[in-house]
């Protein structure tokens, strides 16, 4: 663990912090620095040590150092809300929706509360009876799940998370629901801008889809078989819509529950990396791996120390958190799930001269994630020896392999959108999106980002020039720039230059050593085919991923990341 106290942030990091994270007074004036924000978060997390009679002053220093050194950052709500009146520190929630108006609108009310506090929510709408079904109490006709997703989306549109960002949702429907065709086509008809949509598919469905065999749709209200359809046609429609606009994704629900140690999972958080039980919440954090590369090697001991501190931090958050609802508090405390992940993975590969789309990168990813997983498990075990295992421990499969365990889960790979900007590293386990691109953020602001390591590498190899960088910025890639040496093109490969198979294989490699799930976008170039999407989905199933999301560049009229900044973002309009 490094000990320097200076905090070096990019101009974009400062803009993000000022816009979303730093505390403001009633007039909107910023009243803290980034370092003071980390002090606030570290102090809040360390207060849990008082409950157990531990040295909270020592913990405060450790928590502060790993954040201020940008070696580890917790999820956004922890940075935003720590030490405030709100003090809601979790990012991920799953809420149940049953087949009644009371359940639907009680959950909607709680959703609004969670979004206002900065959290994201996931739902499975499969318990709602299909459109046109008879409602026994009134003899009326049921609206079906799509209509209620529309209501949830409209409500979310009116609420900013903590007044700082729009709410995010995951909407899921099981593949055997009678409204599955309408659900798969939903984003063609409705502007569900605040929802990611995914289909829960079983192993049975996937096998039948590949064989073009029939599959029964079942009414969730009566549990009766409604209609026999060709599973291959459902799959083909799903693939087409994912190619056309990025939705829906797939959740391999059997794989999730096979690896799940307690209860039955039906849904995930908005980006799919956190499968949760009904009413369960989870707080996440990510280690900036680029901070642990020195002399072309990983500093394993330093990484180990940071993992141990990070697990302690995340476990403390569970105790000090202000939960939006008593039901959420109860199950979260009973299972004490945390999700420690990584960011800066592409940076590490570049520094070590390893191509992202290579077998060497896959092998190294398994090595580093298995190290993080085992170290985090041991850290959780050691905390449990002092503070006790999570209350449901004896009911879970974990008790067969461990005598103690503080947390039901310890690892998650999150997308790390804005926290990776703050940390000054690449996001999650993604490759570089582009060497230069524009990021659209809240309220129309645009951030021009140019990859710093490329500029440094360019200078070192004596081929950097303003003209060359402008050409690369316009293209976003070194692939077609003749002046760039081949070895640099190999290392600085970008997301749209990488074949879908390498994207999927990288996700699967990290998933092998991750308790929860992996958020990874399978980025495809604009000219990718429907067959490419189909093959990506089938490969993800074969490699036992827990879910998959694809996005074909420019398949939506508006997208967060754009390559050609000369058209999207003139210097006078970029913030």
Tell me which of 271, 425, 545, 569 is the catalytic residue.
Answer: 271
Contact 373, 395 (CB under 8 A): no
> Catalytic residue at 213?
no
Tell me which of 71, 255, 266, 273 is the catalytic residue.
Answer: 273
Gyration radius (Cα) of the chain, Å: 23
Residues 507, 508, 512, 515: is their CA dihedral positive or negative? positive
- Rounded Cα distance between 570 and 566, Å, is 6
> Catalytic residue at 153?
no
For 437, 443, 468, the CA distances from 485, given in Å and listed in that order, are 22, 40, 12
Tell which residue, 563, 343, 526, 558, has the closest CA to residue 448.
563
Tell which residue, 195, 164, 196, 170, has the closest CA to residue 77.
164
> Catalytic residue at 98?
no
Helix axes 466-475, 452-460, angle to 10 degrees: 140
524-529 CB contacts, 8 Å cutoff, 24+ apart: 524/496, 524/500, 524/550, 524/551, 524/552, 524/553, 525/496, 525/497, 525/552, 525/553, 526/552, 526/553, 526/554, 526/555, 528/243, 528/500, 528/552, 529/243
Cis (ω within 30 of 0) for the bond into 248? yes
- Rounded Cα distance between 102 and 122, Å, is 18
Count of Cβ atoms closer than 10 Å to residue 97 Cβ: 26
Contact 557, 187 (CB under 8 A): no
Tell me which of 12, 269, 321, 562 is the catalytic residue.
Answer: 269
- Rounded Cα distance between 518 and 477, Å, is 26
- Rounded Cα distance between 183 and 200, Å, is 12
Contact 134, 88 (CB under 8 A): no
Point out the residues that are catalytic.
269, 271, 273
């Amino acid at each position: 663990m490094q000990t320097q106290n200076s905090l070096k942030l990019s101009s974009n990091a400062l803009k993000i912090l000022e816009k979303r994270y730093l505390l403001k007074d009633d007039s909107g004036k910023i009243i803290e620095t980034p370092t003071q924000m980390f002090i606030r978060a570290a102090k809040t997390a360390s207060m849990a040590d008082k409950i157990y009679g531990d040295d909270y002053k020592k913990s405060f220093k450790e928590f502060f150092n790993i954040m201020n050194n940008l070696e580890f950052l917790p999820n956004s709500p922890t940075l935003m809300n720590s030490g405030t009146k709100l003090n809601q520190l979790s990012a991920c929630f799953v809420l149940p929706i049953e087949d009644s108006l009371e359940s639907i609108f009680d959950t909607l009310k709680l959703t609004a509360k969670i979004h206002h506090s900065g959290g994201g929510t996931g739902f499975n709408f499969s318990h709602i009876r299909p459109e046109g079904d008879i409602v026994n109490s009134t003899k009326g006709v049921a609206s079906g799940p799509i209509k209620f997703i529309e209501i949830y989306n409209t409500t979310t549109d009116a609420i900013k998370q903590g007044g700082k960002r729009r709410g995010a949702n995951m909407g899921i429907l099981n593949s055997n629901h009678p409204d599955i065709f309408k659900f798969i086509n939903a984003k063609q008809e409705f502007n569900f801008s605040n929802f990611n949509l995914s289909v829960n598919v079983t192993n049975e469905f996937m096998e039948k889809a590949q064989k073009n065999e029939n599959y029964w749709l079942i009414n969730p209200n009566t549990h009766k078989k409604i209609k026999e359809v060709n599973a291959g046609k459902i799959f083909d429609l799903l693939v087409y819509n994912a190619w056309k606009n990025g939705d829906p994704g797939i959740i391999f629900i059997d794989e999730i529950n096979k690896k799940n140690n307690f209860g039955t999972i039906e849904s995930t958080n908005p980006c799919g990396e956190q499968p949760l039980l009904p009413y369960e919440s989870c707080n996440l954090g990510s280690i900036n791996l680029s901070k642990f590369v020195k002399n072309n090697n990983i500093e394993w001991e330093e990484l180990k120390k940071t993992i141990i501190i990070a697990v302690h931090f995340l476990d403390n958050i569970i105790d000090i958190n202000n939960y939006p609802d008593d039901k959420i508090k109860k199950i979260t405390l009973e299972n004490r799930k945390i999700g420690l992940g990584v960011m800066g993975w592409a940076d590490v590969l570049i520094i070590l001269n390893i191509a992202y789309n290579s077998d060497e990168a896959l092998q190294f990813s398994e090595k580093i994630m298995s190290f993080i997983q085992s170290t985090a498990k041991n850290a959780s075990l050691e905390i449990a020896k002092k503070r006790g295992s999570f209350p449901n421990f004896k009911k879970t499969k974990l008790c067969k392999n461990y005598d103690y365990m503080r947390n039901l889960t310890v690892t998650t790979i999150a997308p790390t959108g804005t926290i990776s900007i703050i940390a000054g590293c690449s996001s999650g386990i993604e490759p570089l999106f582009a060497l230069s691109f524009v990021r659209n953020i809240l309220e129309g602001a645009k951030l021009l980002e140019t990859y710093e390591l490329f500029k440094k590498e360019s200078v070192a190899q004596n081929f950097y020039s303003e003209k060359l960088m402008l050409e690369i910025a316009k293209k976003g890639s070194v692939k077609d720039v003749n002046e760039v040496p081949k070895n640099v093109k190999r290392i600085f490969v970008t997301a749209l230059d990488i074949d879908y198979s390498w994207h999927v294989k990288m996700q699967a490699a990290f998933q092998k050593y991750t308790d929860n799930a992996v958020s990874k976008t399978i980025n495809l170039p604009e000219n990718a085919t429907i067959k490419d999407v189909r093959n990506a989905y089938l490969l993800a199933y074969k490699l036992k991923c827990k879910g998959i999301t694809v996005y074909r560049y420019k398949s939506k009229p508006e997208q967060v990341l754009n390559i050609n900044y000369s058209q999207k973002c003139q210097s006078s309009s970029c913030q």
